[in-house]
């Protein structure tokens, strides 16, 4: 068994690199976003537990993938433990998408990249227009990226290959949490996602998101109610 030093970053433990941080800054290849350490630690712990399952291929969806750090970490951990992985990434901002793809490329990883907005337009507009995002919904809808419901995204990309569901759903969608969830409620009713990480962006959205997931029978296994994860709150659920 290989022992790791506590001072190591996940990048060092699982031999992966990054070039860009989430703000578009060039960083040291083994760096992590220290403001997200709580989430990174929780993510690593759950992936380690997941990889004990006796199967060959593990799957993940990352919505709001930005620099793709979590998908890269997921693939690196799967590789480290000699498991295969498929990751499906969604990012509507072209600059963020490009950085994430470059981070993937420098690790010689493959992923299914999508330039999309996930959700329903009316509910997206409602939540984004009361958000603190510059321009609210006007920014997203002005970028001419297609908007599709979450159920449609899964049907288009995963249903045939993931009959047993998706192992990890990771969401950081900047005030669009509820629109994503409600546009895929059938998936949550079926417990299609085994572990779900959701960054939340207001007290109201945190509570609504939590109630939605609990209402569909998910178990809350980690919660941060203050803005301590990259200025976000955090919910982690298990099916």
Residue-wise pLDDT tens digits, 149-165: 999 999 998 856 677 89
Amino acid 2: pLDDT: 41
User: Are 11 and 18 in contact, with CB atoms under 8 Å apart?
Assistant: yes
b/e code 37-57 from CB counts within 10 Å (16+ = b)? eebbebbbebbeebbeeeeee
Report the pLDDT value the prediction gives residue 22, as an integer from 0 to 100. Answer: 83
The two beta strands, 193-200 and 232-238, are: antiparallel
Instruction: Identify the pLDDT of residue 7.
Output: 67
Q: Which domains does the chain have, with CATH numbers?
A: 36-238 (3.40.50.150)
pLDDT for the residue numbered 69: 96
Which residue ranges of the chain lie beneath pLDDT 50? 1-5
pLDDT score recorded for residue 137: 84
Beta bridge partners of 89: 62, 113
For residue 235, what is the DSSP state?
E
- In whole angstroms, give the CA distance from residue 171 to residue 73: 15
């Amino acid at each position: 068994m290989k022992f790791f030093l506590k001072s190591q970053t996940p990048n060092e433990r699982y031999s992966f690199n990054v070039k860009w941080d989430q703000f578009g800054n060039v960083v040291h290849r083994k760096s992590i976003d220290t403001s997200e350490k709580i989430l990174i630690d929780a993510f690593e712990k759950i992936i380690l537990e997941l990889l004990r399952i006796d199967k060959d291929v593990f799957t993940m969806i990352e919505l709001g993938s930005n620099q793709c750090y979590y998908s890269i970490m997921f693939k690196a951990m799967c590789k480290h433990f000699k498991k295969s992985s498929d990751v499906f990434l969604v990012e509507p901002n072209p600059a963020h998408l490009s950085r994430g793809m470059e981070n993937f490329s420098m690790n010689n990883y493959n992923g299914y990249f999508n330039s999309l907005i996930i959700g329903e337009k009316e509910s997206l507009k409602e939540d984004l227009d009361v958000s603190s995002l510059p321009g609210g919904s006007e920014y997203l809808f002005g970028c001419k990226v297609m908007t599709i419901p979450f159920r449609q995204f899964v049907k288009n990309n995963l249903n045939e290959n993931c009959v047993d569901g998706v192992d990890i759903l990771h969401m950081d969608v900047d005030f669009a949490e509820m629109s994503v969830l409600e546009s895929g409620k059938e998936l949550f009713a079926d417990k299609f996602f085994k572990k779900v990480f959701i960054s939340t962006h207001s007290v109201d959205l945190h509570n609504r998101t939590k109630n939605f997931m609990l209402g569909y029978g998910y178990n809350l296994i980690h919660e941060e109610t203050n803005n301590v994860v990259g200025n976000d709150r955090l919910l982690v659920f298990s099916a």
